[in-house]
Amino acid sequence: MPHVTARLRRGVLAAVAAGTLLTPFAAGALPASVPAAFAAGSPSPSPSTPDVRALTPDVARQLDASVRRVMREAKVPGVSVGIWTPGQPRYVRSFGVADRATGLRMTPDLYTRIGSETKTFTVTALLQLVDRGKVGLDDPIGGYVDGVPNGDRITLRELAGMRSGLFNYTEDEGFFKALTSDPERPFTPRQLLGYAFRHPVLFAPGRKFSYSNTNLILLGLVVEKESGQRLGDYIDQHILGPAGMRNTLFPTGNEFPAPHAHGYTDQTADGKVADATDWNPSWGWAAGAMISTLDDLRIWAPTVATGRLPDGRRMISPATQKQRLVTPPTTIPGAGYGLGVFDVQGWIGHNGSLPGYESLTVYLPATRTTLVVLLNTDIGHDNEEPSTLIGQAVTEVISPRHVFDLPAEPAAR
């Protein structure tokens, strides 16, 4: 299948394709070297280089130039970037167009589909149920959902940490044909699991890392069963409401609040670029259906990384949050993955991708810096996700000791 299917099969964490672990390293540890390519004017890292550079007018100009360079090279229609560090000026800029047909400019207030950043919300819901004693991280999934291959052995922890061994339903040929033949059709969670369960398990539970959207569909069902609420309703009541995220939602179909950017993809049946704005994201459900804005994701980044709400209350207990942030190695040096969250060179958070849109929401605890990137395309460039390219370009300028880099790996089908 073409490269577009490879992106679907890997879901959002395209850099971490299924495969055996490389040489293990300490959770969260940085590699011995930092990428040598830096944006024009950015200093090479040294022991005296700060974790995050002050957002002076000169640094802001360097950021503008770096973002525009990536947009030009990768043919990105539009992007919004937000950087916030306590005690520093904020950087909130939009570039390019939100709608190629009308030329409408990209602006920071637009709603966008956030793809696999949804996983951070689903896992947060699960961890809240852990705190309430409704579920245990080491419970087998078979105790909650029937018919799961190896369901008596795969734990909720292994599902949240992408170490279940279950086949990723977005790799299934039948799923790809069904989605691309009618992108506005709805999918149910059980239909999605059906595509996955027709395949044998890939490896014994816990043996290695393999990013799979199937894991999150199962966790979404667990949340619904043990909370007695629909997943979207639970997230709205117990997560979005307390966090004050009034412009974030879990759609039931292809509804999309205005104003929003149009999204452009080549993940189509014929490989041609299409406008995916009104495609139904139900195929991503607990793994990738949500919608948000730049400012709401600014709230979410530190909430995920610290377990605390903006008012200081706990979203998740300290003990459970500590378990969330255990990020064993993946297949990418310098990148670890915990419970629905990754650590890339010290940046904690997640990225998101689905046809037409990509996002990146991360937090650097060392300086309490938040970075949010929103794009209206998922079309790759030189086998790189556009959100990774922007994230790398931005962090090369502001945090050369912590460069965000998830190099994509080719995925044979």
Residue at 404 is within a domain: no
Residues 6+ apart with CB under 8 A from 41: 58, 62, 397
**Are 29 and 329 within 8 A, CB to CB?**
no
Query: Could you give the CA distance from residue 19 to residue 412 in angstroms, rounded to a whole number?
Result: 11
Establish if 403 belongs to a structural domain: no
Query: Average pLDDT by consecutive 10-residue portion of the chain (413 residues)?
Result: 40 37 24 26 49 96 98 98 97 98 98 98 98 98 98 98 98 96 97 98 97 98 98 98 98 96 96 97 98 98 98 97 96 91 97 97 97 98 94 98 75 29
The rounded distance, in Å, linking the Cα atoms of 49 and 43 is 8
CA distances from 330 to 17, 27, 363, 389 (A): 9, 10, 19, 20
Domain of residue 188 covers: 3-398
Q: Which residues of 210-236 are buried (b: 16+ CB within 10 A; e: fewer)?
A: bbbbbbbbbbbbbbbebbebebbebbb
Write out the two tokens for 172.
């299934």
Alpha carbon distance 404, 335 (integer Å): 9
Sequential DSSP letters for 12-64 = T-TTS-S----S---TTPPPSS--S---TTPPPP-TTS-SS----HHHHHHHH
pTM: 0.89
Contact 31, 193 (CB under 8 A): no
State the sign of the Cα–Cα–Cα–Cα dihedral 394, 400, 406, 409.
positive
393 near 66, Cβ under 8 Å?
Answer: yes
On whether the CB atoms of residues 397 and 54 are closer than 8 A, the answer is no
**Structural domain count of the chain:** 1
Q: How far is residue 207's CA from residue 221's CA, in Å, rounded to a whole number?
A: 24
What is the structure's pLDDT at 28?
Answer: 27
> Apex CA 326: angle with CA 321 and CA 329, to 5°?
155
d(CA 27, CA 1): 34
CATH number at residue 170: 3.40.710.10
**Within-domain flag for 239:** yes
33 in any annotated domain: yes
Rounded distance between C-alpha atoms, residue 348 and residue 326, angstroms: 11
CA distances from 328 to 26, 166, 179, 233 (A): 7, 19, 33, 31
